[in-house]
Structure 1
Amino acid sequence: MAESLDATGAIPLHPDLEKTASRPLVPHQVLAGDADVDLLAKLGYKQELQRNFTMIEVFGIAFSIMGLLPSIASTLSFSLPAGPAGMVWSWFVASAFIFVVGLAMADLGSAMPTSGGLYWWTHYLASPKTKNALSFLVGYSNTLGLVGGFCSIDYGFALMFLSVIVIVRDGEWGPSNGQVYGVFLACVVCHGILASTLSKIMGKLQSVFVMMNLILILATIIALPAGTPKQDRNDAHFIFAEIQNLTTWPTGFTFMTAWLSPIWTIGGFDSCVHMSEEASNAAKAVPYGILMSIGSCWILGFIIMIVIASCMTPDIESLLGSSFGQPMAQIYYNAIGKSGALGLMSLLMIVQFLMGLSILVAASRQSWAFSRDGALPFSSFFRPISQKFGLIPLRAIWGCVFLGAALGLLCLIAPAAASALFSLAVAGNNLAWGTPVLCRVLWGQSKFVPGPVYTGRFSIPIAWTAIVFLIFGILLAMFPTSGPNPTPQTMNYTVVINFAVWGGALVYYFIDARKWFTGPKITIDVEGLSPEQQETLRNENLAIKEGKGVMAGSGEKGGREERR
């Protein structure tokens, strides 16, 4: 990346623009408006994906991935051991910090919206000596984090699907680990098929997914109080002041482990970044999508937690040990009976399924962007865009599917091993989110040019707060949730999986990839640009050469020289 801004003070174009790709462009007017194509060109990429996501649809894919109520249901085992007040307030406090992280990400997403944003930002903002290695690490961590999120969502779906069967059989049957994996695998394959065939309406589907999420939330916050007799509802003291500790950790740390529920639930906001090259007016759609999705989950999740705390049995251990395999299924069953529980758990299961579809779309775009820059194994295979299936990275989709199926084999070991899928997403993504923010405040502030959405003078304090919180989140995800001195059955295997990912990526880089990975590659073809786009390049202090390539102006020194 360029090490300084050009004379215009705008985002510098990628320094290797003379090494343009020879692949023909799809006419950009078919894919996007000039403004979005121009902005992407400044980052060194030609427009290859259809920009068919509006701002609301970008918000929708993040909100759908978060899948508020299904995610809360999947992670109640993290929240309930802290008691009702611990569950309620951990959600509120942790969500506030996540919103701060969103603000830091929104600053970067508005300034430099590209599908591979996290590792692109890292490479651009880091120091010359560290940018290649850190960009490589962030790309792998983010890719594996997203695939881990995909796995954990589909694993949660499998548990919900089977819990419905358990409810039907009145708790007299329990699934084996093999049966859980079988449902998980079927779900993963179905998502691959749908992500491959619904590309033309995927943006519109996000609005449907958001509505289904809101319907489920509304049904729950109405049905639970209505189904729980007034005398059985818990009072305000129980909801807001009753702290418990059902682990062997100190009470304060148990409250902290309850943060894992909102940290995991509100962890899909970076999907807005990965949809940058399919979003119209990306410089605003991306940051607003990030902030709207986090903010809505913060408030609605707080309300949901209050309702659950109000209507659940005070015997929390009975919820954690429910024969249905899901505390939320037991809460529904206690409040509205078997038929009501079946209805709401079925709707919960459907929304969870839709979450998996949305995150697979986001994961495939990150994987495609990373393969576009030649960093993934078999990049040349995963790189092509499928014209037949609607200008989507078809091979990257199925690469994520097969990797997800492999990671899901943890289901066959033990529930503790399978739960590492949840923490894999947390730790992997936290590293990927925090690194570019850290690079910005350490090395890249002089190069950072704000976009139309910017936090102004609060930007640096926000960035440092986000960094501290993300480091804390990584450490928190590594701890066994039940207490110290874990057994093989209660061990948190995240520390093993994540350090294998991070260590493996760095070892791969220093042994081999450092010889050929030089960061994001240029794909823009100057000959394919419109006259207006070429004028944009000239306004960026770049002169178009005869034929292919770009010449860089020398700024205040005058004259022109080829950008090396």
Structure 2
Amino acid sequence: MGEDGDKKADPVSTTGLANEEDAAALAKLGYVQELRRNFTMIEVFGIAFSIMGLLPSIASTLAYSIPSGPAGMVWSWFLASMFIMTVGLAMADLGSAMPTSGGLYWWTHYFASPKTRNALSFLVGYSNTLGLVGGLVSIDYGFSLMLLSVVVIAKDGNYTPSNGVVYAVFLGCILCHGVLASTMSKIMGKLQTAFVVMNFVLIIATVIVLPVGRASQRNSAHFIFAELDNLTEWPTGWTFMLAWLSPIWTIGAFDSCVHMSEEAANAVIAVPWGIVMSIGSCWLFGWICVIVIAGCMDPNVENLLGTSFGQPMAQIYYDAVGKRGAIAMMTLVFIVQFMMGLSITVAASRQTWAFSRDGALPFSGYFRKINTKLGHIPFRAIWGCVGLGAILGLLSLIAPAAAQALFSLAVAGNNVAWGTPIFCRLVWGQHKFKPGPFYTGRFSIPLGWTAVVFLIFGVILSMFPVGGPNPTAADMNYTVVINSAVWGGALLYYFLDARKWFTGPKITLDLDNLSESQERAIVVEGLEVENVKTDANVEPGVTKLQA
């Protein structure tokens, strides 16, 4: 923005929420700075990496990868991670160019055609919001299973927790996350560094403990890298592809860097590098972990899937270090899993708040308010996510298959939210794209198309029953039902009502810094350029924005 725009940003920066550059960069996207920028680049990376929670996530999704055998588990991780990196690079290009908390639906609206922009932006916003809440629920559900697996180990397998007990533990966990996310905002950035350290402590402990404990029973290199298996009714090749769901779900939180854009210092650098570093770290260290697990697990894979402990990873630890060692390791696993849930609570609440800021969610006026007394945080959005998560968690009372659909809800919902803005940029908006400091250059377009194809494949993959083509009601994959309700419901809501009032994000563009072709494109597409101001008549402890 020009000098006038910089002056408008000054009052924001003097409050201590952000420096002039970050406040001005956000103003160019149409928003006044309302959150405090207290996340460094390492802390932005930390929130994504801690949500991914490498070892706990691998443990939670072994049921997807183990049926393909050790080689299937190892090579599916490497190959899927490679494609996930293409998605991350495509998103990093956008995150550096236009860093805002509601980035995915904002980018969709900016790049899509005039006829489709409002509907697609609305769909992406809902898909991303519910996908993040689904991720929160699946993480906390995994936490409850891991915590209870410690109880089962302690009782030598002579205890089977009921669905009601699982939900009670889940509910206690998600409520704790709401309390902590509401009261620890001033140190939340610093906590991400601690969470990253805890993740690496668990990784290092596992990489050391398993080979030492199985010193006389370690598997051969041929077993690890070349032995495929098939414990499903699908063809072996498709069982291998289903194993990709483990890394796809695990390395699925890099968009949290985008949602922290308005709390990141120097966001044009911090956001893209946070995305790339979190994916790269999980690619490398995750591959090391699955190689070690493959090298130290029971060669009879069916023993792991049928373990009385309820978690294959618990059985792997038990075989290596015995009862006490397994209890200690699984305790560390569920502690790290708890940290994952806290981090994704923060990320989900920022997306929910951003979408409410643009008036798209029910009760947006309520959820978009910022609480200044607790550290300029979206307090109401935090508890909105917790409340919705508690309701979705009730699926665990129906059947494990219904609860497992929450894992795929996060995959399918977020894949649509990630792929749509990339697709819109490539098809309709390339001529409007102005790269930021991070840019993949001539590789940007081929990376974008690779990402779109892979994300479509990921959505299809997440819909398949894991066990085979003829599932029973107990092992059916209900993702297609849940996601159809999310996507169909969002579009139905839009065309019946929201199309009358939802016009997309409020956009302020820096016309002075645009090329002639970009200016022409903006004029042709009829994008509104609005000025924003801060309303001085705010409620105590609350700020709000008016356009």
| Secondary structure of residue in 1 paired with 2:433 | coil
Q: Deviations over 1:466-524 (max 9, x none)?
A: 000000000000000011111000100000000000000000000000000000125x8
| Matching residue of 2:419 | 434
- Asked if the contact 2:87–2:448 (Cα under 8 Å) also holds between the matched residues in 1, the reply is yes
Residue from 434, 444, 449 that aligns with 2:429: 444
Q: Deviations over 1:359-382 (max 9, x none)?
A: 000000000000000000000010
| Matching residue of 2:185 | 199
Residue from 211, 222, 225 that aligns with 1:237: 222
- Are residue 84 (structure 1) and residue 70 (structure 2) matched? yes
| Matching residue of 1:139 | 125
Tell me the distance in 2 between the aligned counterparts of 1:485 and 1:180.
Answer: 28
Tell me the distance in 1 between the aligned counterparts of 2:529 and 2:221.
Answer: 65
| Matching residue of 2:143 | 157
One-letter identity of the residue aligned with 2:34: E
| Matching residue of 2:365 | 380
Q: Deviations over 1:94-153 (max 9, x none)?
A: 000000110000000000000000000000000000000000000000000000000000
Tell me the distance in 2 between the aligned counterparts of 1:122 and 1:563.
Answer: 17
| Matching residue of 1:228 | 214
| Secondary structure of residue in 2 paired with 1:30 | coil
Residue from 20, 27, 33 that aligns with 1:41: 27
Tell me the distance in 1 between the aligned counterparts of 2:88 and 2:520.
Answer: 36
1:540 shift after superposition = 4.5
- Asked if the contact 1:25–1:46 (Cα under 8 Å) also holds between the matched residues in 2, the reply is no
Tell me the distance in 2 between the aligned counterparts of 1:357 and 1:555.
Answer: 42
| Matching residue of 2:16 | 30
| Matching residue of 1:293 | 278
| Matching residue of 1:70 | 56
| Matching residue of 2:332 | 347
| Matching residue of 1:476 | 461
| Matching residue of 2:475 | 490
- Asked if the contact 1:36–1:282 (Cα under 8 Å) also holds between the matched residues in 2, the reply is yes
With over 3 angstroms needed to count, the CA separation of the structure-2 counterparts of 1:453 and 1:538, relative to structure 1, is closer
One-letter identity of the residue aligned with 2:33: Q
One-letter identity of the residue aligned with 1:78: Y
What is the Cα-based RMSD across aligned positions, in Å?
2.0
| Matching residue of 2:541 | none
- Are residue 112 (structure 1) and residue 98 (structure 2) matched? yes
Residue from 490, 493, 496 that aligns with 1:511: 496
One-letter identity of the residue aligned with 2:158: E
Tell me the distance in 1 between the aligned counterparts of 2:17 and 2:87.
Answer: 31
With over 3 angstroms needed to count, the CA separation of the structure-2 counterparts of 1:556 and 1:146, relative to structure 1, is closer
- Are residue 56 (structure 1) and residue 42 (structure 2) matched? yes
Tell me the distance in 2 between the aligned counterparts of 1:537 and 1:68.
Answer: 40
Tell me the distance in 2 between the aligned counterparts of 1:235 and 1:318.
Answer: 19
Tell me the distance in 1 between the aligned counterparts of 2:108 and 2:220.
Answer: 49
1:28 shift after superposition = 4.5
- Asked if the contact 1:28–1:37 (Cα under 8 Å) also holds between the matched residues in 2, the reply is no
Q: How does 1:333-344 map to 2 (within 5 A)?
A: 333-344=318-329
- Are residue 398 (structure 1) and residue 376 (structure 2) matched? no
One-letter identity of the residue aligned with 1:51: R
- Asked if the contact 1:115–1:366 (Cα under 8 Å) also holds between the matched residues in 2, the reply is yes
Q: Deviations over 1:34-74 (max 9, x none)?
A: 11111101100010000000000000000000000000000
- Asked if the contact 2:128–2:414 (Cα under 8 Å) also holds between the matched residues in 1, the reply is yes
One-letter identity of the residue aligned with 2:132: L
| Matching residue of 2:269 | 284
One-letter identity of the residue aligned with 2:228: I
User: TM-score by structure 2 length?
Assistant: 0.92
1:291 shift after superposition = 0.3
Tell me the distance in 2 between the aligned counterparts of 1:70 and 1:89.
Answer: 19
Q: Deviations over 1:264-287 (max 9, x none)?
A: 000000000000000000001000
> How many equivalent residue pairs?
517
Residue from 436, 442, 449 that aligns with 1:457: 442
| Matching residue of 1:122 | 108
User: TM-score by structure 1 length?
Assistant: 0.89
Tell me the distance in 2 between the aligned counterparts of 1:321 and 1:36.
Answer: 53
| Matching residue of 1:321 | 306
| Secondary structure of residue in 2 paired with 1:445 | helix
Tell me the distance in 2 between the aligned counterparts of 1:153 and 1:348.
Answer: 12
Tell me the distance in 2 between the aligned counterparts of 1:289 and 1:154.
Answer: 24
Tell me the distance in 1 between the aligned counterparts of 2:262 and 2:521.
Answer: 29
Tell me the distance in 2 between the aligned counterparts of 1:256 and 1:367.
Answer: 33
1:388 shift after superposition = 1.3
With over 3 angstroms needed to count, the CA separation of the structure-2 counterparts of 1:470 and 1:538, relative to structure 1, is closer
- Asked if the contact 1:25–1:48 (Cα under 8 Å) also holds between the matched residues in 2, the reply is no
Gaps of 5+ in 1: 1-7, 14-19, 525-535, 542-552
Tell me the distance in 2 between the aligned counterparts of 1:193 and 1:158.
Answer: 18
| Secondary structure of residue in 1 paired with 2:337 | helix
Q: Deviations over 1:425-475 (max 9, x none)?
A: 000000000000000000000000000000000100000000000000000
- Asked if the contact 2:13–2:23 (Cα under 8 Å) also holds between the matched residues in 1, the reply is no
1:352 shift after superposition = 0.1
Tell me the distance in 2 between the aligned counterparts of 1:537 and 1:397.
Answer: 32
One-letter identity of the residue aligned with 2:119: A
One-letter identity of the residue aligned with 1:191: H
Tell me the distance in 2 between the aligned counterparts of 1:351 and 1:496.
Answer: 31
One-letter identity of the residue aligned with 1:283: V
Q: Deviations over 1:221-264 (max 9, x none)?
A: 0000001133x110000000000000000000000000000000
1:25 shift after superposition = 6.9
Tell me the distance in 1 between the aligned counterparts of 2:149 and 2:310.
Answer: 6
Q: Deviations over 1:137-186 (max 9, x none)?
A: 00000000000000000000000010000000000001000000000000
Tell me the distance in 1 between the aligned counterparts of 2:248 and 2:513.
Answer: 40
- Asked if the contact 2:13–2:20 (Cα under 8 Å) also holds between the matched residues in 1, the reply is no
One-letter identity of the residue aligned with 1:156: G
- Asked if the contact 2:131–2:411 (Cα under 8 Å) also holds between the matched residues in 1, the reply is yes
| Matching residue of 1:258 | 243
With over 3 angstroms needed to count, the CA separation of the structure-2 counterparts of 1:555 and 1:438, relative to structure 1, is closer
Tell me the distance in 1 between the aligned counterparts of 2:166 and 2:248.
Answer: 25
- Asked if the contact 2:431–2:521 (Cα under 8 Å) also holds between the matched residues in 1, the reply is no
- Are residue 218 (structure 1) and residue 196 (structure 2) matched? no
| Matching residue of 2:533 | none
One-letter identity of the residue aligned with 2:445: I
Tell me the distance in 2 between the aligned counterparts of 1:373 and 1:483.
Answer: 43
- Asked if the contact 1:209–1:351 (Cα under 8 Å) also holds between the matched residues in 2, the reply is yes
| Matching residue of 2:160 | 174
- Asked if the contact 1:372–1:521 (Cα under 8 Å) also holds between the matched residues in 2, the reply is no
| Matching residue of 2:542 | none
> % of aligned pairs identical?
73
| Secondary structure of residue in 2 paired with 1:32 | coil
With over 3 angstroms needed to count, the CA separation of the structure-2 counterparts of 1:389 and 1:485, relative to structure 1, is same
